[in-house]
Copies of this chain bind each other. A is one copy, B any other.
Amino acid sequence: MSSNPIDIKKVHIQDSFWTTKQELIRKEVIPYQWEVLNDRIPEAAPSYCMHNFRAAALLHEKKQSLGKAFVPPKYSYRGFNVLPDDPRAPKDDEFYGFVFQDSDFSKWIEAVGYSLATHPDPELEKTADEAIDLVCRAQTEDGYLDTYYIINGMDKVFTNLRDHHELYCLGHLVEGAIAYYQGTGKEKLLRAAMRFADYVAERFGTEEGKIHGYPGHEIAEMALLRLSEVTGEEKYAKLAEYFIDQRGRAPLYFDQEHPTPKGEEYKVDYYHQAHIPVRDQDEAVGHAVRAVYLYSGMADLARRSGDEKLFAACRALWKSTVSEKMYITGGIGATHLGEAFSFPFDLPNDTDYSETCASIGLVFFARRMLQIEAKREYADVMELALFNGILSGIALDGKSFFYVNPLEVIPKACHLDERKMHIKPVRQKWFGCACCPPNLARLVASIGTYAFTEKEDTLFVHLYMGSELEKNGRKIQIESGLPESGNVSIRVSSGNAPEPLTLALRIPSWCEDHYQIEGVNVSSEDVRDGYLYVNVPDEETTISLSFELKPKFVSVDARVNEDLGKVALVRGPIVYCAEEADNGDGLGSLYIDPRAEIKEEKISISGANAIALDVEGYRILPNEQGAEFISPLYRTWQGEKEEKKTVRLIPYRLWANRGEGEMRVYLSRR
């Protein structure tokens, strides 16, 4: 039997690490984002998101007041990113921004919903209610809700599924509406989302006369399955199932929708994971965010339906992702061309994409796989991505963000080399295409629903974090020293027999099964798939866990060319990097000795405490020995001069909080 996430209202995070992050979201990101949505941040590119909802609402009111005299706009294509002549004076009745701009509101309201679930805030709730009122005013009478087409002309609705993100906007609206409903109990936005989903359900399907397409950018799949769970309405699950089943079936829908240049079909459909039916897919391909959103929906459907073939595809895609295409930081998407997966073992460090959103999507996928089968490999990856490639996406002050999370940066190259211009050496204030900051917000605000899942008698603890929750009438208090220490304590209040309670406690793979447990009697047979199953006695019980957390060097599969002869340094789930701020520039000329002792040092970066690691190494000095060979660039090799050098490494998530400089995860080794 599969497990479900804990009700967000029933889990309270009280953790020195995670509470800080949640407060950043609550106090910095959510308010800032609201200002952005309303174009009130002079230094950020205008979003036009709320403007568009207002324009759509005005159009409906005009229609109502004019009655039959109203002439609806005829659609004409105005470009993918439509911008006004004067960016600060948009016209009242025009749409601006990306075609998917509506989703900015949905992502915001989702983070707001999760935040309100555990941190009531009447003022924020009032702002949100007003925003929802406006959004609902923008919806058409028959339930359609995408302001791009409402404003630009409804006659072309659903004619460009590949590029125009209407179903992506539906998916985000559903996710946002559910979160707000769960956080506040208010149904207005949920009803609007259901009406839009009803509208889509009417229009799409295999039946004649219906549209046989599916989303160009996936997310509606998992959103609709969740909507079905929340509302109990089967039809939403059916719609999600249709989207998943139909995808990649011949004749390929996107090729029919868009006459595709001969020979390009595969490439285009590959990008959209629509090249073959999903059950036949076994390699993670194309746009990385789209891919893991799809896989998340597939896992949800497999869990619901028990479809073994679909689950086998999920497993194959998981394996392809994490064992051939995942950076050690939990980053995925090795190429910025198409923000996409590259071929297996192609993991360049200085030109990768590793979009924050893609790692977030990987967490979505992992949690869903965990729900089906509690195997620690999923939770290990979830934890890895969270502590590294995701949290690197947000500055310690919550005010700037990385879209791309590279493993090696030389700022000069980012500024001068067009091939690396997608890599920013410092976090950016906000993005025109603002997916990563709101995605971070909704994930961090709901982190408790990833840490824990439950089924009837069992609470699964996938991630250890200070928290309070309830299960089977028993209060569970967790304290965790992670990521600094591996000590965890779990206090369970006394219960009312005979209601049993099992705790399924993940033994992280990084401790290599070196851990101690006190307070309960367990044997090695209680460990299955990396989870320790503890039957908690009825009396109040305190379980103390201690996972060995020591730094170690990691080498990479020899098929990853870029990392041959190099090592990374990790400590528990934390991946380390060397920064110019500690080591000077020219990090490429550093060699470390992986046989030498690693020293731990407590440090603080911009107020964040962490453990730095110091290792012995060498710096190769500029070679001025040997005769020049043709040019001063080249010299006869006579051995390089080198000097001893202690190299300091800090947790990867903390990089670029001390100005612009070089950074490297992998260092050459002796």
Contacts and interface: CB of A to CB of B under 8 A. Distances in A.
A91 interface: no
Contacts of A567: 637
Given A510-B630, A630-B510, A637 B410 contact: no
A416 interface: yes
B558 A589 contact: yes
Contacts of A591: 565
A416 B342 contact: yes
Nearest to A334: B417
A312 B469 CA distance: 76
A517 interface: no
Contacts of A417: 335, 342-343, 346
Number of copies: 2
A647 to B, nearest CB: 15
A482 to B, nearest CB: 15
Interface stretch (A47-55, A218-226, A255-263, A620-628): A620-628
B636 A554 contact: yes
Contacts of A637: 552-555, 567, 594, 669
Interface in A601-639: 620-623, 626-637, 639
Contacts of A328: 629-630, 633-634
A313 B649 CA distance: 44
Contacts of A384: 630
Contacts of A621: 558
A343 B416 contact: yes
A556 interface: yes
Contacts of A635: 554-555, 557
Contacts of A627: 509, 512
A322 interface: yes
A669 to B, nearest CB: 8
Interface string A525-565: 00000000000000000000000000011111111110011
Interface in A367-408: 377, 380-381, 384
Contacts of A356: none
Contacts of A509: 627-630
A570 interface: yes
Given A558-B586, A627-B512, A553 B636 contact: yes
B628 A337 contact: no
A668 interface: yes
A326 interface: yes
B564 A630 contact: no
A622 B559 CA distance: 8
Interface string A573-601: 10000000000001011010010000000
A88 interface: no
B337 A556 contact: no
Interface in A317-346: 322-324, 326, 328, 335, 337-338, 342-343, 346
B586 A335 contact: no
Contact of A629 (B554, B594, B628): B554
A419 B419 contact: yes
Interface string A237-267: 0000000000000000000000000000000
Contacts of A22: none
A323 B558 contact: no
Nearest to A557: B633
A442 to B, nearest CB: 24
Given A326-B631, A558-B622, 7 more contacts: A323-B631, A323-B633, A509-B630, A554-B635, A555-B635, A565-B620, A568-B634
